[in-house]
């Protein structure tokens, strides 16, 4: 399944920005600036992330992923995705395509969901930044509470979805 291009939304948005620029409508100009700055910061990350996903696809065998993260993998599988999530850059929007690539190679749903959760809460650069502004205690509490909750909720949600024969959609 291909994601459809949201023509109407994009057209209306573009028209709004052009209109704002032409007539000096400040909120529109601000929104346009936001769009530009966020696009730039995302473009710094996305190409690299997708290249790594491509390399992962061709170099890592399905057997290997299945052995460590698949249906019969041990509790260690959660530790592997925790480490992978720690090194994930950007944010959730990078974690989703990575999660899909893992699932495509045979990682079980519980582990994939846990990866997404971990990528949200324990990316290492973010943790260092957080601890330096908020203190180590603040960061430790957050991590020690959220990591087990991510594991528990991922296992439960994974089981629930599997029971309903749910399949992850391929956007490509």
Partner 1 sequence: MFFYSVTVILLLTSFFADRKKTIRALKIAWRKFSNILPMFIVMLVLVSVSLYLLPQELIREYLGEEDLLKGMGIAMLVGSIALMPGFIVFPLCGILREQGVPYMVLSGFTTTLMMVGLVTLPVEKAYFGMKTALIRNGIGLIIAVIVAFATGLVFAEVMQ
3-state secondary structure 120-172: HHCCHHHHHHHHHHHCHHHHHHHHHHHHHHHHHHHHHHHHHHHHCCCCCCCCC
* Sequence-ordered list of residues with C-beta below 8 angstroms from that of 50, at least 6 positions apart, any chain: 97
Binding mask 57-96 for partner 1 (x = CB under 8 A): xxx-----------------------------x-xxx--x
Query: Taking the complex as a whole, how short is the minimal distance between the CB of residue 46 and partner 1, in angstroms?
Result: 7
Whole-angstrom CA distances from 106 to 49, 110, 117, 125 are 20, 12, 19, 28
The C-alpha atoms of residue 82 and residue 118 are separated, in whole angstroms, by 6
Binding mask 119-158 for partner 1 (x = CB under 8 A): -xx-x-xx--xx-xxx--xx--xx--xx--xx--x---x-
Query: Taking the complex as a whole, how short is the minimal distance between the CB of residue 134 and partner 1, in angstroms?
Result: 6
* Residues engaged in binding partner 1 (CB under 8 A): 2-6, 9-10, 13, 27, 30-32, 34-35, 38-39, 41-42, 44-48, 50-55, 57-59, 89, 91-93, 96-97, 99-101, 113, 116-117, 120-121, 123, 125-126, 129-130, 132-134, 137-138, 141-142, 145-146, 149-150, 153, 157, 161, 166, 168-169, 171-172
């Amino acid at each position: 399944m291909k994601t459809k291009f949201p023509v109407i939304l994009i057209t209306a948005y573009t028209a709004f920005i052009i209109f704002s620029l032409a007539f000096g409508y400040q909120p529109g100009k601000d929104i346009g600036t936001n769009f530009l700055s966020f696009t730039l910061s995302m473009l710094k990350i996305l190409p690299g992330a997708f290249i790594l996903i491509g390399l992962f696809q061709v170099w890592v065998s399905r057997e290997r992923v299945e052995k460590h993260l698949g249906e019969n993998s041990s509790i260690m599988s959660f530790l592997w995705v925790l480490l992978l999530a720690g090194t994930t850059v950007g944010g959730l929007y990078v974690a989703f395509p990575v999660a899909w690539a893992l699932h495509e190679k045979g990682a079980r749903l519980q582990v994939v969901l846990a990866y997404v959760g971990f990528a949200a809460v324990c990316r290492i650069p973010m943790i260092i930044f957080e601890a330096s502004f908020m203190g180590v205690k603040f960061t430790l509490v957050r991590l020690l509470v959220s990591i087990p909750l991510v594991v528990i909720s991922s296992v439960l949600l994974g089981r629930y979805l599997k029971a309903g024969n749910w399949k992850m959609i391929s956007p490509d």
